[in-house]
Copies of this chain bind each other. A is one copy, B any other.
Amino acid sequence: MTDLILSLEITALGMGLVFGAILLLWLMMVLLTTLTADKSPAPTSPEPDSVSETGFKAQAATLAVAIALAEQGQSTAHPLPEPPTAIVSAWQLGMRTSQRAQKGNFRSR
């Protein structure tokens, strides 16, 4: 019995806290998107016209095709363009540097 009352209290408190926390998150998200929005205006985009012509429906259709393909399991492992990482490849650069040198120089003599 005590446990039942406790569990009801937990429910009330818990859902209250969940909604409270989520509301704070909402506020945070609004603030964040506002504060960190791109200052650069929209026209900088390279292909704004074609997009606004074809419109949202076309994009959604593209999306639907992508989903259908994925559901058929024809997905490739890394469809996303890989962002360039300059510093990460520092070690590889060192490797490549000396390798090139070795090939073009040490060995060719």
Contacts and interface: CB of A to CB of B under 8 A. Distances in A.
A77 B80 CA distance: 16
A10 to B, nearest CB: 32
B73 A89 contact: yes
A83 B99 CA distance: 13
Contact of A109 (B42, B93, B96, B100): B42
For chain A, the bracket of interface size reads 35 or more
Contact of A84 (B59, B72, B107): B72
22 contacts: A45-B107, A45-B109, A47-B108, A62-B100, A62-B104, A63-B97, A63-B100, A63-B101, A66-B93, A66-B96, A67-B93, A67-B97, A70-B89, A70-B93, A70-B96, A71-B86, A71-B93, A74-B84, A75-B89, A75-B92, A77-B92, A79-B96
Interface of A: 42, 45, 47-48, 51-52, 56, 59, 62-63, 66-67, 70-75, 77, 79-80, 84-86, 89, 92-93, 95-97, 99-101, 104-105, 107-109
